[in-house]
């Protein structure tokens, strides 16, 4: 079973700053099978990135994903007020098929 | 427009049974897997299982196998998550989500289940 670890647990930044979120897998993950989601309080998660680096429909280009193997990164180039949220990485593979990381909270400094 | 609309919040007692629903619209319901995801209060996302409504092929996370049952009625484009005997630890928000390959591109609004004596 692949375990995903996200760091940091909380990232305190100001609007306009760059956010770099890490997702590390316990075993190699196919880049095609790594996704990122954003969740705001009281809302369902929203798909941001799939295939490690492809933006989902309607996602602004300030969001970018990169990485391969066991290390993946979500970067928000310049934080907008609406970007303060919790971010989850997720991998797809052998059983249990879908695994989520524990999340990184991006809050306002 | 793709939509997943979930049933409303539930308050149940321990030991009671429950079935919540997720109705898909705006796409071919039988052509996409529908997954269920648990979020306990203040916690992260946990994948529970997934069903292909076209043939009812169902897969469960080992953590949830035997604890819940996932089903679908393709005639009414609806997927279900059910419990036969609820526990207080089942208190959580439950989301359904449409899978496209390895990702969940569309999510329901969530169903809050509260189990309390």
Within a 13 Å sphere around the CA of A9, how many CA atoms are in the beta-carbon half?
2
Q: Look at the alpha carbons of A28, A96, B80, B12 in this order and tell me if their dihedral is positive or negative.
A: negative
**pLDDT tens-digit profile of B7-18?**
999 999 999 999
Expressed in angstroms, the distance from the first to the final Cα of chain A is 36
Closest residue in B to A44 (Cα–Cα)? B109
Closest residue in B to A105 (Cα–Cα)? B44
Closest residue in B to A48 (Cα–Cα)? B105
User: How confident is the model over A57-75, as a mean pLDDT?
Assistant: 96
Average pLDDT score over chain B? 97
Q: Identify from B104, B108, B112 which residue to disrupt to test chain A contact, counting A C-beta atoms within 10 A and taking the largest count.
A: B104
Between chain A and chain B, how many beta carbons pairs sit less than 8 Å apart?
65
A101 touching chain B per CB within 8 A? yes
Reported as a pLDDT band with limits 50, 70 and 90, residue A1 is: confident
Tell how strand B45-52 and strand B10-12 pair up: unpaired
Examine the pLDDT at B6 and tell me if it is beyond 80.
yes
**Residue B101: predicted pLDDT:** 85
Examine the pLDDT at A95 and tell me if it is beyond 80.
no
**pLDDT tens-digit profile of A38-55?**
999 999 999 999 999 999
Q: Percent of chain B at pLDDT above 90?
A: 97
Q: Identify from B43, B103, B105, B112 which residue to disrupt to test chain A contact, counting A C-beta atoms within 10 A and taking the largest count.
A: B103
Examine the pLDDT at A64 and tell me if it is beyond 90.
yes
Examine the pLDDT at A86 and tell me if it is beyond 90.
yes
**Residue B115: predicted pLDDT:** 98
Q: Do residues A75 and A13 make contact, with C-beta atoms less than 8 angstroms apart? A: no
Q: Identify from A30, A37, A44, A93 which residue to disrupt to test chain B contact, counting B C-beta atoms within 10 A and taking the largest count.
A: A44
User: How confident is the model over B92-105, as a mean pLDDT?
Assistant: 95
User: How confident is the model over B66-70, as a mean pLDDT?
Assistant: 98
B63 touching chain A per CB within 8 A? yes
Per DSSP, the three-state class of A7 is strand
- Cβ–Cβ of B62/A95 closer than 8 Å? yes
């Amino acid at each position: 079973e692949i375990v995903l670890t996200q760091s940091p647990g909380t990232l305190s930044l100001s609007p306009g700053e760059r956010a770099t979120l890490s997702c590390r897998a316990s075993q190699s993950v196919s880049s095609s099978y790594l996704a990122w989601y954003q969740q705001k309080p009281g809302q369902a998660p929203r798909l941001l990135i799939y295939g490690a680096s492809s933006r989902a429909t309607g996602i602004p280009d300030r969001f970018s994903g990169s990485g391969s193997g066991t290390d993946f990164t979500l970067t928000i180039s310049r934080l907008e007020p609406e970007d303060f949220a919790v971010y989850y990485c997720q991998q797809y593979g052998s059983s249990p098929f879908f695994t989520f990381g524990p999340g990184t909270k991006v809050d306002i400094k | 427009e793709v939509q997943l609309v979930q049933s409303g919040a539930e308050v149940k007692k321990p030991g009671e049974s429950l079935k919540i629903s997720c109705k898909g619209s705006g796409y071919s319901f039988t052509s996409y897997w529908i997954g269920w995801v648990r979020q306990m209060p203040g916690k992260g996302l946990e994948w529970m299982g997934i069903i292909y409504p076209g043939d009812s092929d169902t897969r469960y996370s080992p953590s949830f196998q035997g604890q819940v049952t996932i089903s679908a009625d393709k005639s009414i484009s609806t997927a279900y998550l059910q419990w036969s005997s609820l526990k207080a630890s089942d208190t959580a928000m439950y989301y359904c989500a449409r899978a496209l390959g390895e990702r969940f591109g569309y999510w329901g609004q969530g169903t809050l289940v509260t189990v309390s004596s």
